[in-house]
A and B are shown apart, each in its own frame.
Chain A
Amino acid sequence: MEGEYIKFGKNQVSTEEYLSSGHRACQGCGLAINIRLALKVLGKDTLCMTPASCWSGVGSAYPDAAWEVPWMQTLFENVSAVAGGVSAAFDILEEKGKRGHRKINSVCFAGDGATADIGLGALSGTLERGHDIVYICMDNEAYMNTGIQRSSSTPHGASTSTTPVGPAFAGQQTQKKDVPAIVAAHNIPYVATACVSYPFDYMMKVRKAAEVKGPAYLHVYSVCPTGWRSAPNLSVEIGKMAVETGIFPLWECEDGVYKLNVNPAKLKPVDEYVKLQGRFRHFNAHDIAEMQQTVDKNWAALKRKVEASQVSA
C-alpha cells in the first residue's frame, strides 16, 4: 500500500481521491460513492470503463472530467467485451515482451440496465472466457439516465416511467432478476453483493475482486434519490434498511463457497423500507404483505444455498 491512510478502527482508507469533486451527480447518488470508494482501493493503475449511463454526463461531459485515472465510455451493451479485450491485450503483450509487467485493473462500472438487460450476453461471454476484469454493477433498479424507465432489475411493484401506477396496472409487474446468481453460475472465482452503507465490507470486496486472477463481479446496491423519490440525505440509511430487511442481502461467493457478510438474527419488516421511497408510495397493506412474503422466501433460499455450499466445501 502506498500513500496516506486514515484509520477507522481496524480499517484504513486511502486519502487519495481518483474521482474528483465537482462532478454532476445528484445529491445522495449511490453511484458516486461506489466509484469514489472503489477507486481508493483500486488505486492509480486502473482503467475505468463505463457504458452509456448517468456517468456519461456526470463524470465526463467534454471538456470536463472527474476521473483521475484513464476512463472510457463504451457502448451500452459492450463494456464487458471491451474490458475483456483490454485484459487480453495487456496479458499477451506482456507474454510477448512488448510490455513490462505492470498490473493494470480493467474495471467496468455499469448500471443494472447495461448488466441485467442489454449487456447480459456480452457479460456472460466475458465471464465464461475468464478475462481478468473487475465488473461492478451499480444497481439502482431502473434506467435512471434516460428518465427512470423499468429494467429487469426493478423490484416488483415499483413505479417507474414505463411502469406507472394506473387503475389497470400499478408499477413493475415482474420480479427482480437475480443477476449475481446468474453470474455465480459461471463459476468465476469471485462474486459478491455489496452496499456502500457498509463501506468497509464493500472496499474489502473490491480488493478481493481486484486480487483474484480472472473475472470478479460485484453487484452493488445503489440508491438513486431522483429515481426512487427518496430524500438525498437518507441514501445511506435506505441502504442499511435494504440489508437489514433482507431485501438486498450481503453475501460473497469465493470459488463456489457462499458466505453471508451481514446476517441479522431477525429481519426488519419491509414496510420501514418501503415508506422511505416515493416509488412505493402507492403500496397498500396487501402490496407490502406480498413484498414481505417474497423477501422471506428469497432470504430462506439464500440461507439454504449458503449452508449447502459450506457443507459441501
Chain B
Amino acid sequence: MSKRVPLEGSFATAEAARMADVDVIAAYPITPQSHIIERMSEFVHNGELKAAFVPVESEHSAMSACWGASGAGARTYTATASQGFFLMHEVLYFVAGMRLPVVMAVSNRAVGPPANIWGDYSDAMSASYTGWLQVFAANNQEIFDFTLSAFRIAEDPRVLLPFMIHMDGFTLSHVVEAVFLPEQEEVDAFLPPYKHPYAYNPDNPCCYGSVMSPATYGELKKAQDVHVRGTIPVIKEIWKEFGDRFGRYYKPIDSYKAEGAKTLLMVAGGLSETAKIAVDKRREQGESVGLLTLHLWRPFPFEDLYKAVEGAENLVVFDRAPTLGGPTGPIIGEMKAALFGVRNDLRVAGILGAFCGRNLEVTEFEEVIDRGNAICERGSQEMVETVGIRG
C-alpha cells in the first residue's frame, strides 16, 4: 500500500534514493540542489540510511568519487545544478564511457553570467552528447518515480549507463506537492541489488580507460552510440513494469488531448503542466490543439516522436535554453532534424522563453500556440523567437 505525503521535489528525489538503499552519495552544495543533499546527509546521520555520504570539495570531485564508488560496486547517487553541472562536465563523459550506472538529479538552473540561481535548461542541454540517459520530470511524483526507476534502468545489465533526472530548479525542487510513496517491500521487489559485471576485482584484473589510437577509437564510439540508442526498449519495458507495480505508467513522450489535433504543442519539464491548462482552454473554445510532454531526452525517442505526431499538421516546440549563435533552441533544433525527411509535411515552429526562472503564464502559452500556428501557416520564422522576453 502506498501512502500520499507532501514533498517538495528535492525531497521526492532524495526519498527515492533512500528507498533505493543507495550505498554512496558524493555531493557538493549548490542552489537550488542543496535541499537534496541536505536531506541525504540527514538520512545518513539519523541512521535512516546506511550509506557513505562523501562531502567533496567540488562538483568535479563529486562526479569523480561517484565514478570510483560505482565502479567498485556501490549503488551511487548525486545531485547538482548549473555551474556545478558544468564543473563536472568532463567527468560526465567518463562515467558514461566507463558504463557506470550513477544516478543524478539535476535541479535545472540557468548558467551565468549574469550570476543567477533560477531555473532553465541551459545546464541540461549542455550534456546532450555525454552518453547519459536523461529524462525531464514534470512534477514531484515524476521526480520520485523517475529517480526510483532510474536505478533499475541504469543498473540493468543490458544498459549499465548513468542516468540523470532533470527537475526544474525552485518551481519543482522547492515546491511541495502530494507524492505517492510505495512501501519499502514494494521497492525491494522492484529493485534488485546492484551488481556490476566488471567491478574492480583483483581476481579478474581489467584495464579501464586505456588509451586508444585512431585505429580503434571510432569503432568504440560507434558501438557506444549504438548501445545508448538501443536502450529505449529496456527503458520502456522497465517503465511498464513500474506501472504494473505502482500504477503509474510513463512513456518517452506523453500525449495530452493530442488525438486528432491539428496543432501539437511540445513542452519539457514542469511548464508542461501550465501548457496543459492553455490546451484545455483552447480545446474548450473548439480549437484542435493537443500537448506533447517530452520526458525522454536521451536516448532521443525517434519512433515515439513519429507516433506522437501522426496526423498532426503543426508542431510548436517550446524551448528553455538559449543557444547563443546557434540554430534556435536545442529541443526545437533536434525535433526539426529528427522529422526532416520523415515528416516533411509536418510544419515545425519553435519558440523560446522562461529563461532563468522567468514565469510563463497560461496566456503566454496561448500566445505560443497562436504564434506557432502563424509561423507554420507562413512557412518561415526568425531563427530565434521568444515569448515573455523584452527586446
Query: Interface residues, chain A, CB within 8 Å of chain B?
Result: 44-47, 56-57, 60-63, 65, 67-75, 77-78, 81-93, 95-96, 98-99, 104, 106, 121-122, 124-126, 128-129
In the assembled complex, which residues on chain A have CB atoms less than 8 Å from the CB atom of B207? Answer: 60, 62, 65, 67, 70-72
In the assembled complex, which residues on chain A have CB atoms less than 8 Å from the CB atom of B52? Answer: 88-89, 91-92
Nearest 5 pairs of A and B residues by beta carbon: A85-B68, A125-B57, A85-B65, A81-B64, A89-B74
Given known contacts A89-B24, A125-B56, A125-B58, is B205 in contact with A71 (CB within 8 Å)? Answer: yes
Across the interface, do A69 and B210 meet the contact criterion of CB distance under 8 Å?
no
Shortest Cβ distance from residue B265 to the other chain A in the assembled complex, whole angstroms: 41
Across the interface, do A75 and B57 meet the contact criterion of CB distance under 8 Å?
no
Shortest Cβ distance from residue A165 to the other chain B in the assembled complex, whole angstroms: 32
| A75 contact from B54, B64, B70, B73, Cβ within 8 A | B64
Across the interface, do B202 and A57 meet the contact criterion of CB distance under 8 Å?
no
Across the interface, do A75 and B24 meet the contact criterion of CB distance under 8 Å?
no
Q: How many residues of B contact A (CB 8 A)?
A: 43
| B202 contact from A61, A69, A84, Cβ within 8 A | A69
Residue of B nearest to A68 (CB): B205
| 9-residue interface stretch from B127-135, B211-219, B251-259, B327-335 | B211-219
| A61 contact from B57, B65, B213, Cβ within 8 A | B213
In the assembled complex, which residues on chain A have CB atoms less than 8 Å from the CB atom of B312? Answer: none
Across the interface, do A62 and B211 meet the contact criterion of CB distance under 8 Å?
yes
In the assembled complex, which residues on chain A have CB atoms less than 8 Å from the CB atom of B57? Answer: 121-122, 124-125, 128
Given known contacts A62-B211, A71-B208, A73-B208, is B94 in contact with A122 (CB within 8 Å)? Answer: no
Query: Interface residues, chain B, CB within 8 Å of chain A?
Result: 23-24, 26, 50-52, 54-58, 60-61, 64-74, 76, 90-91, 94, 193, 200-202, 204-213, 216
Across the interface, do B200 and A70 meet the contact criterion of CB distance under 8 Å?
yes
Across the interface, do A98 and B23 meet the contact criterion of CB distance under 8 Å?
yes
- Complex Cα distance, B205 from A67, in Å, reads 8
Sample of 13 A–B contacts (CB below 8 Å): A46-B202, A47-B200, A69-B202, A70-B207, A71-B208, A78-B60, A85-B26, A89-B72, A90-B72, A92-B51, A121-B61, A124-B57, A126-B61
Across the interface, do B68 and A45 meet the contact criterion of CB distance under 8 Å?
no
Residue of B nearest to A62 (CB): B210
Shortest Cβ distance from residue B148 to the other chain A in the assembled complex, whole angstroms: 19
Across the interface, do A92 and B56 meet the contact criterion of CB distance under 8 Å?
no
In the assembled complex, which residues on chain B have CB atoms less than 8 Å from the CB atom of A128? Answer: 57
| A129 contact from B55, B60, B208, Cβ within 8 A | B55
Shortest Cβ distance from residue B210 to the other chain A in the assembled complex, whole angstroms: 4
Identify the interface centre among B66, B206, B207, B208: most chain A CB within 10 Å of its CB: B207
- Complex Cα distance, B56 from A65, in Å, reads 32
Across the interface, do B201 and A70 meet the contact criterion of CB distance under 8 Å?
yes
Across the interface, do A93 and B23 meet the contact criterion of CB distance under 8 Å?
yes
- Complex Cα distance, B267 from A50, in Å, reads 44
Shortest Cβ distance from residue A138 to the other chain B in the assembled complex, whole angstroms: 18
In the assembled complex, which residues on chain B have CB atoms less than 8 Å from the CB atom of A92? Answer: 23-24, 50-52, 74
Given known contacts A121-B57, A125-B58, is B73 in contact with A99 (CB within 8 Å)? Answer: yes
Across the interface, do A60 and B64 meet the contact criterion of CB distance under 8 Å?
no
In the assembled complex, which residues on chain B have CB atoms less than 8 Å from the CB atom of A88? Answer: 24, 26, 52, 54, 65, 68-69, 74
Residue of B nearest to A65 (CB): B207
In the assembled complex, which residues on chain B have CB atoms less than 8 Å from the CB atom of A77? Answer: 60
In the assembled complex, which residues on chain A have CB atoms less than 8 Å from the CB atom of B65? Answer: 81-82, 84-85, 88
Shortest Cβ distance from residue A118 to the other chain B in the assembled complex, whole angstroms: 10
Identify the interface centre among A47, A81, A124, A129: most chain B CB within 10 Å of its CB: A81
| B210 contact from A47, A60, A68, A125, Cβ within 8 A | A60
Across the interface, do A86 and B202 meet the contact criterion of CB distance under 8 Å?
no
Residue of B nearest to A64 (CB): B210
Residue of B nearest to A95 (CB): B50
Given known contacts A57-B211, A95-B50, A125-B57, is B205 in contact with A89 (CB within 8 Å)? Answer: no
